[in-house]
Amino acid sequence: MRALVVIDMQVDFCPGGALAVPGGDAIIPAINDLMPDFDAVVLTQDWHPPDHSSFAANHPAAEPFSTVQMPYGPQVLWPVHCVIGSPGAAFHPALAVDVADMTIRKGFRPQVDSYSAFFDNDHATPTGLAGYLRERGLDDVTFVGLAHDFCVAWSAIDAARLGFRTTVIEDATRAIDLDGSRRAAQDAMRAAGVRLA
C-alpha cells in the first residue's frame, strides 16, 4: 500500500512568502495530479509558535540563515515563517487539500525545530506519522513538496531508516539550496537508501 506525503506546501514557502523557495508553487499541479495514484495522501504543515527558537528574530543579533548550536545539534536560523494560524501557515490555495486523509503538524514546540515529518530535530520526539502509516499498512512512501534539501530530505531519510520503501519525486520538489545543501541532501538520501525518481 502506497502513501504520498506532501511536505509543507504552504504560502510562506512559495514565491511571495516569508521563506520562499524558488519556484515552490510551480510543483503544485504535478502534486495534485499524483494524489489519485496513491492509497493515501498525507499533508504536513510547518506550524510554529511566535517564540519559536528556529526564528533568527528570537536570537539577539543573529542573522537569518546563520547557524547556531542547540542542545540537539546545529540549527539554521530562519526568517519568521509559518506562524500558527497566520495566513503564511495556510496551505497554498491551489493545493488539492480535500483529497488528503491526514495532516501532520510539526515544529510547534518552542525549543526544538522539526524538519522531518517523523521526528523533531532531536531525532527522538515522534510526530506519530510512522504509527499512522504502519497501522494503515502503508509500507511504501513517496515524498514531494518543500523544501527538497530540508524537510523533504530529512523526512525521506527517516522513512528509509524506519524501514519504509521510500521514494522522492525530484520534479515535484524544489530546494532552498543554502551552501550546497541541495547536493548534500541528495547524497545523504542516496546513502540512506532513498530512491530518487
Note the residues at the interface with Zn ion (CB under 5 A).
Answer: 46
The active-site residue, picked from 12, 46, 106, 149, is 106
* 118 forms part of the interface with ligand VGL (CB under 6 A): no
147 lines the binding site for ligand VGL (CB under 6 A): yes
Number of residues binding to ligand VGL, judged by CB under 6 A: 9
Can residue 8 be called a binding residue for ligand VGL (CB under 6 A)? yes
- Reference 75, options 55, 58, 90; nearest CA is 55
Q: Which does 120 bind (CB under 5 to 8 A by kind): ligand VGL, Zn ion, none?
A: none
Residues β-bridged to residue 173: 145
- Cβ-in-10-Å burial (0-12, 13-18, 19+) of 164 comes to buried
Contact partners, residue 42, CB within 8 Å, separation at least 6: 3, 4, 5, 6, 100, 101, 102, 103, 104, 117, 129, 132, 133
Closer by beta carbon to ligand VGL, 130 or else 156: 156
Nearer to ligand VGL, 115 or 143 (CB): 115
Cell numbers placing 16: 511571495
Is 151 one of the annotated active-site residues of the chain? yes
Q: How far is the CB of 81 from Zn ion (least distance, A)?
A: 6
Going through the chain in order, the beta strands assigned E by DSSP cover 2-7, 40-46, 67-70, 73-76, 102-106, 140-146, 165-174, 195-196
Q: How far is the CB of 163 from ligand VGL (least distance, A)?
A: 23
**Annotated catalytic residue 113:** no
- Interatomic CA distance for residues 151 and 118, integer angstroms: 10
Q: Measured between alpha carbons, how far is 195 from 13 in angstroms, rounded to an integer?
A: 24
Using CB under 6 A, which of the segments 66-74, 91-99, 119-127, 145-153 binds ligand VGL? 145-153
Taking residues 55 to 94 in sequence order and writing x for each that binds ligand VGL by CB under 6 A, - otherwise, the string is -----------------------x----------------
Instruction: Determine the Cα–Cα distance for residues 162 and 148; give it in Å rounded to an integer.
Output: 19
In the bound complex, what is the minimum distance in angstroms from residue 175's beta carbon to ligand VGL? 9
As annotated, the active-site residues are 8, 106, 151
Residues that bind ligand VGL (CB under 6 A): 8, 13, 46, 78, 115, 146-147, 150-151
